[in-house]
Structure 1
Amino acid sequence: MKNSFRGRLSILGSLCLLAYLGISSFQKNEHQRWGQALLDSLTESQKHEASNALAGLQIDPELEITTFATEPMLKNPTNMDIDSKGRVWITEAFNYRPAIAGNPTNPAGDRIIILEDTNGDGKADKEKVFYQSPELNAPLGIAVLDSMVIVAQSPYIWRLYDDNHDDKADRKEIMFQGIGGEQHDHGAHAFTFGPDGKLYFNLGNEGKQLLDAKGKPVLDQDGDIIGPNKYKQGMVFRCNVDGSNVECLGQNFRNNFEVAVDSYGAIWQSDNDDDGNKGVRINSVFEHGNYGYTDEMTGEGWSVNRTNMESEIPLQHWHLNDPGVVPNLLQTGSGSPTGILVYEGQLLPAKFQNQIIHADAGPNVVRAYPTKAQGAGYTASIINLVEGVKDQWFRPADVTVAPDGSIFIADWYDPGVGGHQAGDQNKGRIYRIAPKNTPYLIKKLHLGSPMGAITALFNPNLATRYVGYKALQSFGEKATKDIAAVYQNEKNPRLKARLFWLLAQGPDGLSYIDKALTNPSVEWLMMAIRAMKTRPFDAWKAIAQRVVKDVDFQVKRELAIALHHVKNTEADAIWAALASQHGGGDRWYLEAIGIGADRLWDARLAAYLALKPADSPAFRDIIFRARTPLANAYLFQFLKEAKPLNEKLRYFRALDFIPGDEKSALLIQLINTHLKQDAAATLIAIRHLAPEYIQKNALARKTVIGLLPKSDVDEFTKLIEKYNLVELKPELMKIILGNKGGRQAAKSLYALAGGNDFINKTFAQGNNTVKRSIIDAIRWHGSKESIALLSQTMLNNKLELIVRKDAAKGIGNSYPAGEDFVLKALKDKQIPANLIPSVVESVSKAWRKGVRVEANTYLSATQSNTKTKHPALNDLINLKGVAKNGIKVFVEQCAMCHQINNEGIDFGPKLSEIGSKLSKEGMYLSILHPNAGIGFGYETFEITTKKGDVYQGIVTSKNETDIILKLPGGSIQNFKTSALKSVKQIDNSMMPDGLADGMSTTELTDLVEYLSTLKKK
């Protein structure tokens, strides 16, 4: 009976939806209410049945969405491609993160499946398994290129071949390897076929390197190894179809999941912020550009303080005020972006044509981003294509164009968005979007003639374009006449552009390029330059000398980028002419100019200065962007001006990007001659001195010591540590004894040579007031030295009890060293009976519940570790909590590690918009099983120093010399890598396992109810 009722509800939902799709606006509103009423009448489980798949989705009113395939035909789709026959290829990830999530696995391995509609009704009715193997383990990318299928699955990128065309993989070979870790979401991603006949692909910020099939490092376009010594974080690449001639086209992204290339060769990509910081972005990829996820010079994370830091976290996230960072096209808030394309079909309405279309699984939406040129860059707006308004399980993992011009969406369909967990392994949907009443019909290709191949090349589907391109190449000279004839007469500029790339690569290619540069279309001029720069500079310098006078800054931008690493005096002159045309204020153009001068700044800037540019905002932009000591004189001229400090910050920051000691010498001179009366400017100048310069220059050292800002205790102590000013140990002790800022002062003192001995000596010689002040300052430090002093004090019967109790109350305040010491000492009965309550109190606020519970057992044998037994997840999600009561639960249980609208401790992911990202099911999973879904960037790292100190926390910044670790409670610990024994990632989340055990079921449901209200406004 129950199953029959559910079936009737599902059928009724389908009928309501059908009725809704072609009725008047009044009727539409009525049916929306009926549809909502139906949805509300279903249980949570029924809402997620495949028969109700469309009920929670909202589609653009000019379009229709239908289900092409659902479970059980497929499960957990991560990526998708559509071949020239209109068949949908899916990579599945049933075996996603089983070790962490605890989910069951299929020992046969994950699958690549082909879904086909054989009867033309728009529904897949045939399924084939192209490949399944235990080696296939949650792949994240697929590209179908005729009989070759490229599959990305960290640490490998594979090529699978269907040699006999039976839709079964006959062989598999490694294309690239050494990418990130096994199953890493931030590693290898999908490949895309470009109009130039090359492949484009990307690696997320755990990719780190690229090795060839034999395990040897792949070299980039400069002959350099592709790896962390040259490139930072996520990267985007171009290569030949066989994997040769790899070029790195951009770097310093976070988790760039897929790349899109339009017919003109323009490149578009998206990536996202560290969770909760509202920094998802869309980018126009300037070749060889830096996109600012970490500090370009130091590799430090975005949250590390810097001069001229942006005012808002979403902007800070990408170092947008730093010279050398390409601007973002658009920032869309919180999310987990995945698939992206440029829609060059004509089936969808005009507002979607030739626009970026993008899937973001976080806010459950597929969007278009119409772009407009603005100076040398772009602006963009947002149009939603389809949104999971009433179904937060809608997780669009990919979006692809079919041969008929319709759009297909692969839906991971899950309460969460990956992030190392799958809440539902068995569901997955494929949707088709097209104008209403548009059948899914695929025309047969005729690749036996050049004209048939050209028709294929003109298709909006990339797999179809590939077979057309490949066929035209195979025809050779036989096809040239037909290509040239169609090229001459074709009116659609994007279709014509695809033929241009073929002709530009031929023997008369330069003449086609030269002629294309007379086209009035800006897109054509940019495309011609992109094709031109693939040839040696001598072949196109005359063209460049002519184009440099072009009036459109989009074209100048491409020419500036084309000069990247072209070492030639004539190239210097062209660059200088381009730089002299910068009008100021166009950051896109400035960054293109900077890309064109990379590694060549001495010669480039000298050529520019030889033109005797007048002082102007544009001139100051160029100096701000320069990377050569030649810029120092001008920067310091700007810094000496009688202008507000906030107008000088960018020039102080620019100094960080200029090599050599000259800037530090000039800073000392500036401090002594112009800044002595300006404490704020003096402090900023001191911050930009190179520590190594201070160490080797006694006069500079004396100057710094004399000007340290004693009134700003935190800054004072940090600068002493930064510049290793060992002679100021007594000053740090004064701060400790003054009981204000002692925690930071103690940290800095321990970091100095001889600091531990100085602390111990002062403690031994001091009275009770001195001793208690030192205890209060060191109790958080968690080093062997600090714990040893606290332990010795606690156990020293010759000291007064009040001092010993202070030590006992502080000994467990550090994590994890102090907490672990307490448990061991209690277990080994090393604590005097009268001090056990004080020692237990020291861990009473430990974030690990197990520590608190175990310590409490030493107070009373009657106390026990009581757990709250909550209902099963399926029952929890049907309970209704009280949101306003959940606020109190958040403050008591979560605010020590999370922020909502800047309230709480900045440690774990921010939760201000968590209701837009996770369904209730996803929230319960995260709270009940924190180790099953650890957000990238919030993994637990254990750091062991050479002295034996152990720390656990979140690495917020890491470079060759320094690591910054954020500890529970939001405190920061800085380490020199030279002082470390090991740095290792551990499996457990920093979120305490068993957090929910300390809540009643009412408190848990109230908390989730409250978190569900936190949505993007």
Structure 2
Amino acid sequence: MLKKLSDKTKLGLPMALLGGSLLFSAYHHSSKSIWVNRYIDSLMTEEQKHLPSNALKGLKIADGLEVSTFATEPMLLNPTDIEVDARGRVWVLEAYNYRPAITGNPTRPEGDRIVILEDSNNDGKADVSKVFYQGPELNAPLGIAVLGNTVIVSQSPYVWKFTDTDGDDKADKKEILFQGMEGEQHDHGMHAFVFGPDGKLYFNFGNEGKQLRDAKGNIVRDQDGDEISRKKYKQGMVFRCNPDGTGVECLGQNFRNNYEVAVDSYGTLWQSDNDDDGNKGVRINYVMENGNYGYTDEITGAGWTANRTNIESEISKQHWHQNDPGSIPNLLQTGSGSPTGIIVYEGNLLPKIYQGQMIHCEPGHNVVRSYPVQKSGAGYTASIENLVKNEQDQWFRPSDVCVAPDGSLFVADWYDPGVGGHQAGDQTRGRIYRIAPSKTPYTVPKQDFTTIAGAISALQSPNIAIRYLAYNKLVSDNSAEGELVKLYNSAENPRMKARAFWVLSKGANGKKYVESALADQNPDIRITAIRAARELKLDVIPYLKNLVKDADPQVRRECAIALRHSKSPEAPALWAELAAQHTGNDRWYLEALGIGADNNWDSYFNAYLQKVANPVESPAGRDIVWRSRTNESVKFLATLATDSKVDLKDRLRYFRAFDFVKGTKKSEALLEMLKHNSSEQKEINTLALRHLDAEFVKTNPVAKSALLKLMASTEGKEYLELEGKYLLPEENKRLFNMIITDKSPREASDILIKNLGGTALLTHAISEPGKEQNALKILSSMRWSGSKTQLDILQAAMFNKANSANIRREATRALGGSSNGEDLILKYLKEGKIEKSLIPSAVDGVSKAWRRQVRTEAARYLGGSTNAAAKKLAPISDLIKLSGDAKNGAVMFANNCSVCHQVNGEGMDFGPKLSEIGSKLPKEGQYLAILHPDAGIGFGYEGWDLKMKDGSTLSGIIASKTETDIILKMPGGITQNLKTSAVKSMKQMQNSMMPSGLADGMSQKELVDLVEFLTTLKKK
């Protein structure tokens, strides 16, 4: 066989054979398939590997299933989202015009397209392609829902509603459903709409959305009458509304990029959420209604990297504030990734393990997964099962998944060396795959929506578009009630029973059916009934009286949520009954209690105390005290926080809980702690002071005395955190000594500058005779900060000819260490104001500037050719063919990249962590990121220029921003704490903070070695 294959190679035949994958097909099921495939792989060029005819090569499908291509390029390009309509056709959103300002890719001036793909001859392949709509305003839309003759398309800052009025598969009418979301052409903007079993629409946006406006531009108000904006809500959100866009409710908040929402037949919501790249914190969430999901601090809005008491030990949990009271637990954390489309599969064609479960696209790891869920107390647990994964071709980027009328799955493949993230390496490709049991042809069951019987049958379809038409027929026809009752009473699948119930609940006798379902033996039906009662705005109190002692904790969870914002005088006692049943080991149940008590904590907690007089005696009671938001819980918090019989580490949660309680009682309780006298008093004082307001401490004699005593006994990072918070001028001398003894000099310098008298102290020391070493250390400590005061000090030292040459050189070098300082260096070089002897120091000072033009322009003043190091690299298409030395690449990374990136904890924490970048990007993507960093700036890693009120400019990444404080990260992993009130304006940079000339200092071989090393960094 090897001889025959070799002979064909000589004849040039394998190129044709590989193009049609004939060899692969012939030996796919043979015992020799493995080595034949490997042999074929060795013959293929990179371009041949990406041919549509080889699309199935490398796809590993789960046992019992089969994957086939439904459509490939050129029939479609860059699919971001798909929908399968009631006729079995696949609707595709294309994103050819994705982020051209960043990628530099060409665009179609006529705009992106909505394409309908149809298999007209029933061979399982699309053979008809229609353009439903194309327009210049359609730019990389991210979500589509096909609801009868209406098509809803999500594309921030708009949600478009297209209508086909005459049935010719062309949009005849275009309207705005919502608008005002920020993030045009942004992956973190508005995502797809989904039709729910209750007849409502569900949708979400990521943390770039920020607000929601209606078709007229008015800010939309939520179920409480509050604006849907950052005034009330944080980060990404999930919503529900009526089909016409009215009645909007915010169902959850504080996600990062919750890409889509999936709704099951009981009305339960599921989502994925993307972490800040490189932190292995990607998660799957059960969306508990009205929950806070912890991406930023619930109270202050601070980012997850901000230090806090009882901070989680694992970064993946820090990322979502999992130790904070009020943060809903994550169902599943999946590590790294770039999650996209998600559904709940409620068909029966696929194997049982997938039935009733989430199906999810994870393009970062080239896989489509399922997450089998099991109930656990008031919440759930989940695991991971792969459906299809490409283990050979990292261009496989599944972006969305949908259920077809026959119960098979359709998967959209963005097919690109990257995964969005504002970059696209290829605009010419895109695929649609079908997943079904082996040897199962694609069929589209005929539907009859004109009869009640036909609509009843259609209501049970696994396809959402069919269920939409069935629901609307049944809910509008009073004669359907009898048949719906039959389905409700006879359905073996409780999900079908729930679907019938939702329609019945919307009818004239809806209340009757709600009350009947509340008594159903199946707890999922009882849960559905509670949700329906709330949607119908029925008085739920009489119902909850019968359910607050339900044996099922998930039913009690829904009872707690139903009590949210209740004004009934009976509500406190009902909540107390629910709280008394908390076991102390069910975080889901505890958070449901917290959601239910919102705005009513005083009355609810007091009612609880009537049932449980001393809650600190049991784990359950201690949980409820920790979660409470009322002054009545403060004395119990104080007792728990100071209980020396319990290890202090286990009491940190109670100190953290003080941050979530408002009022004077909190200050009084923390102040009282400072008066204690125990073996751990230093630790207690530190914690108490940390949770007291800074101004309160400085003006209260007891607190001020405790603070000074504490600071005298602390040092290092702990000392700097305290002094940075309180800014006591009494500490100026100590800060000065830290600078000249090299003990955190930069941090000490930053704080000293802010203190009264600090600037004068430093200025005097720089010019003090006989103290040159002190002066050099002071100047060096100011290099990276860039505040106006520090820049003024550096300039004065540089130009003062009375200073020694060493002092002037160090001042010149230090001046170029910040963005504002770089500009000053260039200005003075152009004006000839920097003496010749100082020019090398000036150029050296800006040699690490992230802006390439700063480095190159400054270098001109050294003399010689500025292009001496210039070299010509091979195109990326040729570079990817080269093999490098990963060991040498690791050295190149340490020398060139570790100043801003971490790998497995080594390096500086500035840019995205790269520990698993090899799993996310193939070589094409790696080269693109290095050579053209502006083509893909990771969200959350955009650079910002901050103009300060003192006239200075600071540049970096905003790690955290609250109403009062900003944490700015700068290259080298340096952070600077700023007061928001000191910032005049903020402007996002158009370019990446990653130097565009990173490869300038490398040979081509060194660059290839670096990429070889990066491709080895994969998920283990």
Superposition TM-score, scaled by structure 2 size: 0.96
Q: Which among 857, 881, 884 is matched to residue 881 of structure 1?
A: 884
Cα 1:2–1:930 change in 2 (3 A) is farther
1:334 matched to 2:336? The reply is yes
Aligned to 1:495, what secondary structure does the other structure show? helix
In structure 2, the partner of 1:507 is 508
In structure 1, distance between residues paired with 2:678 and 2:630: 24
Q: Any idea what the Cα deviations from partners look like across 1:853-892, whole Å, max 9, x if unmatched?
A: 4333323335545322111111111111121121111111
In structure 2, the partner of 1:138 is 140
Deviation at 1:64, TM superposition (A): 0.4
In structure 1, distance between residues paired with 2:567 and 2:763: 59
Structure 2 contact 475–506 (Cα < 8 Å) conserved: no
In structure 2, distance between residues paired with 1:870 and 1:316: 41
In structure 2, distance between residues paired with 1:752 and 1:150: 56
Aligned to 1:157, what secondary structure does the other structure show? strand
Structure 2 contact 19–51 (Cα < 8 Å) conserved: no
In structure 2, the partner of 1:952 is 955
1:9 matched to 2:17? The reply is yes
In structure 2, distance between residues paired with 1:97 and 1:977: 31
In structure 2, distance between residues paired with 1:805 and 1:159: 64
1:230 matched to 2:232? The reply is yes
Amino acid at match of 2:37: G
1:998 matched to 2:1001? The reply is yes
Q: Any idea what the Cα deviations from partners look like across 1:220-253, whole Å, max 9, x if unmatched?
A: 0000000001110000000001111000000001
Aligned to 2:342, what secondary structure does the other structure show? strand
Structure 1 contact 675–682 (Cα < 8 Å) conserved: no
Amino acid at match of 2:782: I
In structure 2, the partner of 1:549 is 549
Q: Any idea what the Cα deviations from partners look like across 1:272-311, whole Å, max 9, x if unmatched?
A: 1000111111100000001111110010111111111111
1:789 matched to 2:793? The reply is yes
In structure 2, the partner of 1:396 is 398
For 1:586-985, what aligned pairs fall within 5 Å after superposition? 586-614=586-614, 615-642=617-644, 643-674=646-677, 677-708=680-711, 710-764=713-767, 767-769=770-772, 770-812=774-816, 814-862=817-865, 864=867, 866-985=869-988
Deviation at 1:776, TM superposition (A): 2.8
Amino acid at match of 1:938: Y
In structure 1, the partner of 2:499 is 498
Q: Any idea what the Cα deviations from partners look like across 1:379-406, whole Å, max 9, x if unmatched?
A: 1111100001111000000000000100
Structure 1 contact 269–285 (Cα < 8 Å) conserved: yes
Structure 1 contact 92–111 (Cα < 8 Å) conserved: yes
In structure 1, distance between residues paired with 2:836 and 2:203: 65
Cα 1:865–1:956 change in 2 (3 A) is farther
Structure 1 contact 857–864 (Cα < 8 Å) conserved: no
In structure 2, distance between residues paired with 1:319 and 1:720: 25
Amino acid at match of 2:49: K
Aligned to 2:584, what secondary structure does the other structure show? coil
In structure 1, distance between residues paired with 2:139 and 2:926: 26
Aligned to 2:666, what secondary structure does the other structure show? helix
Q: Any idea what the Cα deviations from partners look like across 1:732-766, whole Å, max 9, x if unmatched?
A: 22333433222111101222355434433454556
Equivalenced residues, count: 1008
**Percent of counterpart pairs with the same letter?**
55
Amino acid at match of 1:582: H
Deviation at 1:36, TM superposition (A): 3.0
Deviation at 1:951, TM superposition (A): 1.3
Cα 1:435–1:759 change in 2 (3 A) is same
For 1:526-541, what aligned pairs fall within 5 Å after superposition? 526-536=527-537, 539-541=539-541
| Segment of structure 1 superposing worse, 587-596 or 505-514 | 505-514
Structure 2 contact 18–40 (Cα < 8 Å) conserved: no
For 1:254-403, what aligned pairs fall within 5 Å after superposition? 254-403=256-405
Q: Any idea what the Cα deviations from partners look like across 1:771-796, whole Å, max 9, x if unmatched?
A: 33322322332122212222221222
In structure 2, the partner of 1:435 is 437
1:211 matched to 2:219? The reply is no
Structure 1 contact 204–253 (Cα < 8 Å) conserved: yes
In structure 1, distance between residues paired with 2:713 and 2:820: 32
Deviation at 1:799, TM superposition (A): 2.3
Structure 1 contact 768–803 (Cα < 8 Å) conserved: no
In structure 1, distance between residues paired with 2:712 and 2:337: 41
Cα 1:795–1:126 change in 2 (3 A) is same
In structure 2, the partner of 1:460 is 462
Structure 2 contact 673–684 (Cα < 8 Å) conserved: no
In structure 2, distance between residues paired with 1:608 and 1:449: 53
Q: Any idea what the Cα deviations from partners look like across 1:661-710, whole Å, max 9, x if unmatched?
A: 33223222202214574433332222111123224434423332222255
In structure 1, distance between residues paired with 2:848 and 2:180: 43
In structure 2, distance between residues paired with 1:115 and 1:3: 39
Deviation at 1:1004, TM superposition (A): 1.0
In structure 1, the partner of 2:3 is none
In structure 2, distance between residues paired with 1:613 and 1:619: 10
Deviation at 1:317, TM superposition (A): 0.6
Deviation at 1:557, TM superposition (A): 0.9
Aligned to 2:238, what secondary structure does the other structure show? strand
In structure 2, distance between residues paired with 1:841 and 1:35: 54
In structure 1, distance between residues paired with 2:776 and 2:998: 34
Amino acid at match of 1:688: H
Deviation at 1:484, TM superposition (A): 1.8
Structure 1 contact 668–703 (Cα < 8 Å) conserved: no
Deviation at 1:518, TM superposition (A): 2.6
Cα 1:946–1:778 change in 2 (3 A) is same
Deviation at 1:4, TM superposition (A): 8.1
In structure 2, distance between residues paired with 1:600 and 1:256: 29
Structure 1 contact 945–982 (Cα < 8 Å) conserved: yes
Aligned to 1:488, what secondary structure does the other structure show? helix
1:158 matched to 2:160? The reply is yes
In structure 2, the partner of 1:579 is 579
Superposition TM-score, scaled by structure 1 size: 0.97
Structure 1 contact 676–682 (Cα < 8 Å) conserved: no
In structure 2, distance between residues paired with 1:373 and 1:410: 31
In structure 2, distance between residues paired with 1:128 and 1:752: 68
Q: Any idea what the Cα deviations from partners look like across 1:447-473, whole Å, max 9, x if unmatched?
A: 111111111111000001001011112
Cα 1:18–1:86 change in 2 (3 A) is farther
In structure 2, distance between residues paired with 1:2 and 1:960: 71
In structure 2, distance between residues paired with 1:345 and 1:19: 33
| Segment of structure 1 superposing worse, 543-552 or 139-148 | 543-552
In structure 1, distance between residues paired with 2:75 and 2:352: 34
| Segment of structure 1 superposing worse, 451-460 or 818-827 | 818-827
Deviation at 1:543, TM superposition (A): 1.8
Aligned to 2:364, what secondary structure does the other structure show? coil
Structure 1 contact 70–428 (Cα < 8 Å) conserved: yes
In structure 2, the partner of 1:110 is 112
Structure 2 contact 783–818 (Cα < 8 Å) conserved: no
In structure 2, distance between residues paired with 1:3 and 1:371: 55
In structure 1, distance between residues paired with 2:182 and 2:866: 46
